[in-house]
Amino acid sequence: MAEFNSKDTAAFKGVWVFCEQREGVIMSTSYQLLSEGRKLANDLGVELAGVVLGHNVKEDYLKALGGYGADKVYYCDHELLDVYTTDAYTKVICDLVEDKKPEIFLIGATNIGRDLGPRCAARLHTGLTADCTHLDVDVAKYKEFLKTTSTIDVDNTVFEENTNLKMTRPAFGGHLMATIICPRFRPQMSTVRPGVMQTQPYDDAGAAKTVIEKVAVQLSKDDINVEVVEVVKAAKQLVDLIGADVVVTVGRGISKDVEGGLKLAEELAGVLGGVVGASRACVDAGWITADHQVGQTGKTVHPRIYVALGVSGAIQHLAGMQDSECIIAVNKNESAPVFDVASYGIVGDLFKVTPMLIEAIRTLKASK
């Protein structure tokens, strides 16, 4: 292998997506990233490859990555890659990057991706942008994006014409957006927030066409300084509030029929493709587990849509959700503070309004 030099930017070509598997199943984040990677690869006129590390991963699962846009799949099979360890995964990925030299490398910002990404970037001597929510290589497309999301006077600003990856991410708890570049080193690496990129429809022809390349893995027990004793699944799956695109939150307003209120919230979250959140009042009352809590002492969320059902909007609650893109509040008290941050407010009984909302959205979706 020739000497690897991350500064020799001209030597790098192609877009890669790390396709994480757990227990042999590819995580859905991988499909979102492949769909996004496909767009970047098209804009650059290069190949898109998925990278899978695992052991005895089903051929069908590998082929399916082609259905979401991968021209090629690098499959690294080894028994020491079955369960994630930083040491094993970093070694195998860095060996592969040094050999094949991709220009862009995207990794899902899962708890594992955010462990693997920085370790690889440090070893390869390149930059890594954390938890991105938007990616562009094309300057015109980037300008269009800025026009709709920032107050930057795009038409009177000079933008260098190049195809460097422009990686946009929230920082300072979502109070600031930053676009980061990595102009002098390759690959340009970024972890991408789960749930943000849209998965494109599955394409059978793409799956049939995709080429699977089995990579010869150099790995031994001596490379690994940890021992995974056990992997335990939470009895009930913890809700992924932070990565959610839509959050439907219930407050003490459901008290007269807790079970019914929770069921309505679940149904509404279901039709909108989201998850259920809760105010602390509900958690303290034991109606729902603490992983659902939004707010100062719970999770801070920035979903595209936040629906608050029977939540008063205490400052500690608002601290965790007021930066959501579109906030819809239903509360029977017209002076509830939640209406101060709401994009749309309905003054009414949540037990009457929510079923109508579910129905109306269902009808709309059916007509599309």
Partner 1 sequence: MKCIVCVKQVPDTSGVVAVKEDGTMDRAAMATITNHDDLAAVEAALRIKDATGCKVVVVSMGPPPAEGMLRELLAMGADEAVLVSAREFGGSDTYATSQILAAAIKKVGVDNDDIIFCGRQAIDGDTAQVGPQIAEKLHVPQVSYVEKVEVNNGKVTVQRQLEDGYMTIKVNTPCLLTCLKELNEARYMSVGGIMECYSKPLSVFNYETLKDDPLIDVDTIGLKGSPTNVYKSFSPPVKGAGMMMEGADKATVDQLVGILNDKHII
Ligand X SMILES: Cc1cc2nc3c(=O)[nH]c(=O)nc-3n(C[C@H](O)[C@H](O)[C@H](O)COP(=O)(O)OP(=O)(O)OC[C@H]3O[C@@H](n4cnc5c(N)ncnc54)[C@H](O)[C@@H]3O)c2cc1C
Q: Which residues would be at the binding site for ligand X (CB under 6 A)?
A: 127-130, 169, 171, 176, 178, 180, 251-253, 279-282, 293-298, 310-312, 314, 316-317, 320, 330-333, 336, 349-351
User: 163 near 186, Cβ under 8 Å?
Assistant: no
Closer to partner 1 at the Cβ: 56 or 236? Answer: 236
Q: Which is nearer to ligand X, 6 or 312 (CB)?
A: 312
The answer for residues whose C-beta is within 8 angstroms of residue 357's C-beta and 6 or more apart is 268, 330
Question: Nearest distance from residue 59's CB to ligand X, in Å?
Answer: 36
Min dist CB 50 to partner 1, Å, is 21
Q: 43 or 245: whose CB is closer to partner 1?
A: 245
Extract the tokens encoding 365.
Answer: 């979706």
Tokens of 325: 């893109």
| Residue nearer to ligand X on the CB measure, 87 or 349 | 349
Partner whose binding site includes residue 202, from partner 1, ligand X, none (CB under 5 to 8 Å by kind): none
The item of partner 1, ligand X, none sharing an interface with residue 253, based on CB under 5 to 8 Å by kind, is: ligand X
**Four-CA torsion 251, 254, 259, 262, nearest 10 degrees:** -40
Task: Name the minimum Å distance from CB 212 to ligand X.
Answer: 32
Q: Tell me how far, at minimum, the Cβ of 63 lies from partner 1, in Å.
A: 26
Q: How far is the CB of 360 from partner 1 (least distance, A)?
A: 4
3-class DSSP assignment, residue 361: helix
Angle, to 10 degrees, between the axis of helix 28-44 and the axis of helix 59-67?
50
351 binds, among partner 1, ligand X, none (CB under 5 to 8 A by kind): ligand X
Q: Toward partner 1, which CB reaches closer, 59 or 233?
A: 233
Q: Sign (positive/negative) of CA torsion 186, 192, 196, 197?
A: positive
Q: Which residues contact 213 (CB under 8 A, 6 or more apart)?
A: 72, 73, 74, 75
CB of 84 to partner 1, least distance (A): 8
Cis peptide, bond prior to residue 187, ω within 30 of zero: yes
Q: 59 or 227: whose CB is closer to partner 1?
A: 227
Closest separation in Å from C-beta 186 to ligand X: 15
**DSSP result, 85-146:** -HHHHHHHHHHHHHHH--SEEEEE-STTHHHHHHHHHHHHT--EEEEESEEES-HHHHHHHH
Contact partner, 267, from ligand X, partner 1, none, Cβ < 5-8 Å per class: none
Task: Count CA atoms closer than 13 A to 22's CA, side-chain side.
Answer: 11
Q: Which does 304 bind (CB under 5 to 8 A by kind): partner 1, ligand X, none?
A: partner 1
Which residue lies nearer to partner 1 by CB, 171 or 208? 171
